[in-house]
Structure 1
């Protein structure tokens, strides 16, 4: 059975995606969940030397300082490096939903990353509050975009219901450019992905490597041998060919290199179909706020 017969379309892979506000974002970023500040600074600096230009942090991760310090160190050390060549994301924690709380928390995030001058992308980390708080959070984020201190805003872990709530809000001035959700070959979220693409919202996949749990899958291993790549590279290439931005996480130099080395091969449609399991719902991250009903 082909991908097309499953109602799934592949896309041409490029190193950048164009957001609806015409900002370019690297199609591969580095995630830093559960990475302490000291390690984050080291890994981000190493990743920049490898070629990464996209980093995904969050208030909840408590490592914004490490990530921004790593970027600043690279900018200081490398001749001709430019701030605009690096894409830095953070996220508003659930406990900071609401107009005043969002402003206060984001001011703190901006102060932590003061050496970067601005934040490229701020996401609402999840919808887990209520309608009034979610929309007043967005009101605050729009003001930061208007000030120029934040370049783009989006959401994370939003389901279709949460996105409709935002898109239909009469106070909407700045549309969400990204929805970051957990996605892998065993967790396609097809209805959500289709809704995002129909509304010109890019989909960013976190935990694209299934936190290592599917690296030993027989099909993944067989395709790794066929394409002379490692299992992680197969999973990342799968995401890229299905139009997703990906943010794999690692703190190891060898994995930094291999995870970034996925632009020089293409998985065939038949092999993509073998990898793709549209009837599964393989949540691995331990939470699924996409289904939040509050």
Structure 2
């Protein structure tokens, strides 16, 4: 495995790159401050969404930072009520206004709830925004292989998703989706990699953490990155924001990886609201 570092990126299927570690800002009550702290600690990737109602705060952080806009990777997402071609395109325009930027690096269809037609129409709207330079890359979130296959066979679809953002961590390793995405050259991005703290007391993780002199959260993030997956752990605690990026001075060995692989509970280990397979 190539050494991981603070500047490690993943190359997407359109030739662009995404920082492998980012900051998630779902339900962040101090979003601007969290982003600025993350920038100071070396993060160069922020993941937000229309649903989170904090795009404007992310934009304020971008404006307040001394970092050039081109050095920060910004992702947002369109929620399912906007899954028409016109509304998805408008969602992009609205996100850009709130983020106070001329372009977004990545924009996702946030969920598959709108069904085959809605997903198709939303994708066409995002393709329109790509054609106008408003977005560099487009992808999906909470999609299964069947959702992506159907989308790619739909009329007028010319752009393949660059990424699929899903809940992924040692207790829900998403092997079916991950295997499919690897075969199709679609990057996998893990949200809630720290299980919102619910699983970090696991004795296996705690033992491995003690072995390396790291926290359970650091072990889990390191595990995600060693899978080649993009991770966006959320925190607004300054100490934890720093801790979550301090994971480049150790490496999980083969025995660590084997032990963690046995923690997988499949979708029974799902700690979020989303089971992608529940939607046609």
The TM-score normalised by the length of structure 1 is 0.90
Query: Could you tell me how far 1:280 is from its partner in structure 2?
Result: 3.8
Query: Could you tell me how far 1:33 is from its partner in structure 2?
Result: 0.7
Q: Does 1:263 align with 2:254?
A: no
User: Which residue number in structure 1 is paired with residue 82 of structure 2?
Assistant: 96
**Unpaired runs of 5+ in structure 2?**
none
Contact 2:222 2:252 in 1 (8 A): yes
Query: Residues 56-135 of structure 1 correspond to what in structure 2 (within 5 A)?
Result: 56-74=47-65, 78=66, 81-114=67-100, 116-135=101-120
Query: Could you tell me how far 1:162 is from its partner in structure 2?
Result: 0.4
**SS of corresponding position for 1:48:** helix
1:179-212 per-residue CA deviation (whole Å, 9 max, x = no partner) reads 0000111111111101101111000000000110
Contact 1:31 1:56 in 2 (8 A): yes
**SS of corresponding position for 2:159:** coil
The TM-score normalised by the length of structure 2 is 0.95
**SS of corresponding position for 2:77:** strand
CA distance in 2, matches of 1:196, 1:260: 26
Query: Residues 210-229 of structure 1 correspond to what in structure 2 (within 5 A)?
Result: 210-229=195-214
**Unpaired runs of 5+ in structure 1?**
1-9
CA distance in 1, matches of 2:97, 2:153: 32
Q: Does 1:283 align with 2:274?
A: no
CA distance in 1, matches of 2:2, 2:277: 27
Aligned positions, number? 276
Query: Residues 241-252 of structure 1 correspond to what in structure 2 (within 5 A)?
Result: 241-252=226-237
Query: Could you tell me how far 1:12 is from its partner in structure 2?
Result: 5.9
Structural RMSD (CA): 1.4
User: Which residue number in structure 2 is paired with residue 43 of structure 1?
Assistant: 34
1:63-112 per-residue CA deviation (whole Å, 9 max, x = no partner) reads 000111112110xxx2xx32111000000011111111112222111111
CA distance in 2, matches of 1:172, 1:85: 30
User: Which residue number in structure 2 is paired with residue 19 of structure 1?
Assistant: 12
